[in-house]
Amino acid sequence: MSGASDVRHGTGALGAVDRAMYALEKLTALISGYGIFALMLLGVVHIFGRKLFNAPIFGYIDIVEIMMSALVFLGLAYTERLGGHIRMELFVSFLKGRWLWAFELLGVVIGLVIVAVLTYYSYTHAMRAYHSGDTTIDAQLLLWPSKMIVSVALGLLFLRLLISFWGYVRLLADPTREPAAVPEIIDVEEQAIRDAETVGVDVDRDAGRRA
CB 144 within 8 Å of CB 134? yes
Q: Helix axis angle, 97-132 relative to 144-173, nearest 10°?
A: 160
- Exposed, middle or buried: residue 18 (CB in 10 Å: 0-12, 13-18, 19+)? buried
Average pLDDT over residues 154-167: 96
Per-residue burial over 31-69, b = 16 or more CB atoms within 10 Å of its CB, e = otherwise: ebeebeeeeeeeeeebeeeeeeeeeebebbebbebbbee
Choose among 95, 81, 62: nearest CA to 180. Answer: 81
Q: Kindly give, in sequence order, each residue whose CB lies less than 8 Å from that of residue 74, ignoring residues fewer than 6 positions away.
A: 28, 29, 31, 32, 35, 149, 153
pLDDT, residue 5, reads 46
pLDDT, residue 192, reads 72
Phi/psi of residue 142, nearest 5 degrees: -65, 135
Average pLDDT over residues 70-87: 87
As a whole number of angstroms, the distance between CA 5 and CA 21 comes to 16
CB 77 within 8 Å of CB 156? yes
Enter the DSSP assignment of 57: P
**What type of residue sits at position 168?**
Y
Binning pLDDT at 50, 70 and 90, where does residue 205 land?
A: low
pLDDT, residue 104, reads 92
Tell me which of 14-28, 88-102, 183-197 is least confident.
Answer: 183-197
Would you mind telling me the total number of residues written for the chain in this entry?
Answer: 211
CA distances from 79 to 126, 130, 167, 169 (A): 24, 29, 17, 21
As a whole number of angstroms, the distance between CA 38 and CA 53 comes to 21
As a whole number of angstroms, the distance between CA 160 and CA 154 comes to 10
Binning pLDDT at 50, 70 and 90, where does residue 87 land?
A: confident
pLDDT value at 21 more than 90: yes
Average pLDDT over residues 46-70: 91
